[in-house]
Chain A
Amino acid sequence: MNETVPPELAAVLRRWNPGALPGLERPAPPAPDPGGAVTVVVLGVPGSGRGDLIAALTEGGAGSRELRFAEAPDPAAGVALMVLDAAAPLGREELELLRAGAESAHTVLFALTGVDAHHDWAAVARRNTELLTEHLPRFAGVVIHPVSVPDGRGIEELRAAILEATTAVPERQARLRMRAAGAAEQAAALIRGSAESLRATDDTAALRAERSALVADRDGWRGDRAAVLRRLTALARVELVHEVSDQVRAESTAAREAIDRADRTALAASPQHLRDAVAALTARVDAAADARLAEVSARVLGGALHDENRTPTVPAIEPPAPRHRGLEDRMMIVFGASAGLGLGRMVMAPLSTVPALDLASIPVTLLLGGGAAWWLTRARGHLADRAHLRQWAVETLATVRSVLEQRVLGRLVDTEARCAEAILARHRERTRESEDRLAALDRQLRERAGSRAGKLAACDRDLAVLEVYASVTVR
């Protein structure tokens, strides 16, 4: 249908240079037939003076080629003549007629009738050109021939234009071909520019960077956390054991001092005091361990662990065994009695000079000796009780210390295990997430690469079409 613009070239131009296409697309002219008649299809709304114009064109054409005019659209006619009325600018009716009737014509000429009667025909012609340019881009900037049938004005020029349109087909074709070649050149430049910018811009760099960061980080987090956990638990072990011995030592010193100062009643109450002190000590150690372990989990996991299942108990304390009264006590009674007798004799020595009192001094001496023996025995018992209790306190606190050490170390081990579990769980989650993200990134990268390749291939295809057209034109 179209010799100047083959369909594949038209498709390329429609994509890349649509503005140039309407001026180029027109039907191929019929085969030139220098001797034969030329059919011109004449279009016009009723009352536009079409019949008069046809009559005027027919009768004045002696000596030149025969022109045959058809009023109905004729597919064989390559030239169309659109008759417009100078009374008013064209409307939708004329445009419809033109769209339908001029489709098969390779050349369309325009005539404006009644310019003798309508003095403002020039303005009407200008407005018509504007309307044609706006609504039928194929006719942008066409020449409208003003004619007047009654006084014959413009008829000859119009006939000459029609003959030129029918005979000068090769020149016209050449002009059109040149314009098409220009449009193709423009389109080729556009395509090359687009392809270059496509090749130059790589919008996948950010995606690639994210992917490599993900791959690098896939196992790093877990190792990092495990190292932190090891370091912090070792540190916590040392510090907690140290804390326990410190506390127990201080408590031991305090208990010893209290026992050394205690009288008999205080001494009786001291096991209970020690029990209370051990309860307070246990609470302190537990609090210190809590703080320490919370710090470990916070620094390893960035958050607290869920509560461990723990019932705080105070280490059990056995009451002190009753002191065994042994040989020493009995010896002390003997020593006390002999010392008391000696003391009584010493006190009674000045009275022996009085004979009357000699007899009376014997019971007094015995009494004094008995009293001294009782006191000595009693003091010795008190001292022995203190020593017994001191021994008991030291042993008890040593037991408490070992219990507490075992307890904090057990909790430390438990915390370490649970931290390790949490790290593992979180690592699994992170691995799954990063695998998903990696898959998405790979997909995006593939898609982008595919679309870019597709666009470049489309550019190459269009360029190939243009090159083929250019080679044909040159030939």
Chain B
Amino acid sequence: MRRATEAAIIRGAPGGAFFSLGGGAMASMKFDATVDGLRRSATEADPAAGALVSRAVRRYRAPVRIEVTGRAGVGRSAVITALGPMQGAEVVETPAWDVPGGEDPALTAELIVLVVCDPPRRADVAAAGIAGDRGLAVLNKADTLADSAVAAERTAAALGVPCLPVDSRSQFGVADLRIAVTDRLEACLAARAAALSADLRALIGTASVRDAVEEYLAGDEALTVAVAAILPHEGEMPAESPPDDPALALRRARTWRGRMNGGFDARGTRAALTLHRSAVRQWVRGEVR
């Protein structure tokens, strides 16, 4: 959650994440390259590469769209109201499905909340099929059901997407829904951060902007983006001492280093390396997270 907030600072306030370096061996190095600076220098050096950087950054900074969809009368607006505003996301209501004489809406968002009533209809199954991995079903009006948990399981099985029982009037299940949506949102943001890093890394092959990109990727901001791209389960610490321990950052760095050396899958090793670098820089700055 904290990592996501830090990444949000970069997204929301361009150029605002400067980190002052402490003394020591790394004092001569500069880690304050920002993505906006990179964009400027890349545009000066090579307009085509600059446009690529701009597009990648725009994609990274755009708010995540969450579409709330479903048949007419199932309570899409009520679910949006119960969900409340989501930070870094834009929640929109689509036109209804299965309207006589109407057309079904196209689902284009990164995250789709499908509101259904028990039992799910043919149109609901079709919508869930289109949403696929982006979909999250909400079994609304759960108070009218005898056993909402069983009904939700049945619905999830019918639709092929996870399903949460919710009653938007009595706020039953809304907290769980919020957590589920937040998790999905974080996954979306991590995917975007990973995409930005990958896009920029792909630009290293372009000679005219190589130095600028490498300088940025070595910087603190790029490291923050890379940390944000790590999925929550990959970045879990086993057990932590109390946060007021001054050597916490160093110990954490050691832990990640151990995991990095003992890792088996490439993705996990890369995540451990990134977190190790982050912990070392925190130790250098004398920060404790």
Contact = CB atoms under 8 A, between A and B. Distances in A.
A91 B72 contact: yes
Interface in B130-165: 141, 143-144
Given A118-B141, A127-B73, A92 B98 contact: yes
User: Which of A46, A91, A117 has the largest count of B CB atoms less than 10 A from its CB?
Assistant: A91
B84 interface: no
Chain A contact surface mostly = loop
A58 to B, nearest CB: 23
The 3 closest A-B pairs by CB, nearest first: A47-B119, A91-B98, A88-B73
A114 B117 CA distance: 12
Nearest to B169: A119
A14 to B, nearest CB: 22
Contacts of B143: 117
Contacts of A91: 71-72, 97-100, 121, 123
Residue among B98, B100, B117 facing the most chain A CB atoms (10 A cut-off)? B100
B101 A87 contact: no
B114 to A, nearest CB: 14
B8 interface: no
Interface string A85-114: 101111111010000000000000000001
Nearest to B140: A87
B118 interface: yes
Given A92-B123, A124-B73, A87 B144 contact: yes
27 contacts: A45-B121, A47-B119, A87-B73, A87-B118, A88-B71, A88-B73, A88-B117, A89-B72, A90-B100, A91-B71, A91-B99, A91-B100, A91-B121, A91-B123, A92-B98, A92-B99, A92-B123, A93-B121, A93-B122, A114-B144, A117-B141, A117-B143, A118-B144, A124-B73, A127-B73, A131-B100, A135-B100
B74 interface: yes
A87 B117 contact: yes
B116 to A, nearest CB: 9
Interface string B102-137: 000000000000000111011100000000000000
Contact of B100 (A87, A95, A118, A124): A95
A166 B118 CA distance: 33
Given A92-B98, A134-B100, A134-B101, A87 B121 contact: no
A232 B64 CA distance: 98
B41 to A, nearest CB: 56
A92 B100 CA distance: 5
Contacts of A46: 119
Contacts of A87: 73-74, 117-118, 141, 144
Nearest to A88: B73
Nearest to A119: B169
A118 B73 CA distance: 11
Interface in B52-86: 71-74
A88 B72 contact: yes
A175 B123 CA distance: 39
Residue among B97, B99, B121 with the highest chain A CB neighbour number at 10 A: B121
B172 to A, nearest CB: 14
Interface in A127-180: 127, 131, 134-135
Interface of A: 45-47, 85, 87-93, 95, 114, 117-118, 124, 127, 131, 134-135
Most chain B CB within a 10 A radius of its CB, from A92, A93, A124, A134: A92
Contacts of B121: 45, 47, 91, 93
A127 B72 CA distance: 10
Contacts of A95: 100
A45 B125 CA distance: 14
A43 to B, nearest CB: 15
B144 A47 contact: no
Contact of B118 (A47, A90, A93, A135): A47
Contacts of B71: 88, 91
A89 B118 CA distance: 13
Contact of A93 (B73, B74, B98, B144): B98
Contacts of A118: 141, 144
Given A87-B144, A91-B71, A118-B144, A135 B99 contact: no
A456 to B, nearest CB: 40
Contacts of B98: 91-93
A135 B143 CA distance: 32
A88 B74 contact: yes
A444 to B, nearest CB: 45
Contacts of A114: 144
A306 B85 CA distance: 95
A50 to B, nearest CB: 12
Contacts of A124: 73
B26 to A, nearest CB: 62
A267 to B, nearest CB: 110
Contacts of A92: 98-100, 123
A95 B74 CA distance: 18
B245 to A, nearest CB: 55
Nearest to B144: A117
B208 to A, nearest CB: 57
A91 B100 CA distance: 6
Nearest to B75: A88
A113 to B, nearest CB: 12
Given A92-B99, A117-B144, A127-B72, 20 more contacts: A47-B118, A47-B121, A87-B118, A87-B141, A87-B144, A88-B71, A88-B72, A88-B117, A90-B100, A91-B72, A91-B100, A92-B98, A92-B100, A93-B98, A93-B121, A95-B100, A114-B144, A117-B141, A118-B144, A135-B101
A114 B119 CA distance: 13
A381 B48 CA distance: 122
Interface centre among B73, B74, B118 (most CB of A within 10 A): B73
Contacts of A88: 71-74, 117
Contacts of B74: 87-88
A389 to B, nearest CB: 110
A95 B101 CA distance: 10
A124 B101 CA distance: 18
A410 to B, nearest CB: 91
A102 to B, nearest CB: 15
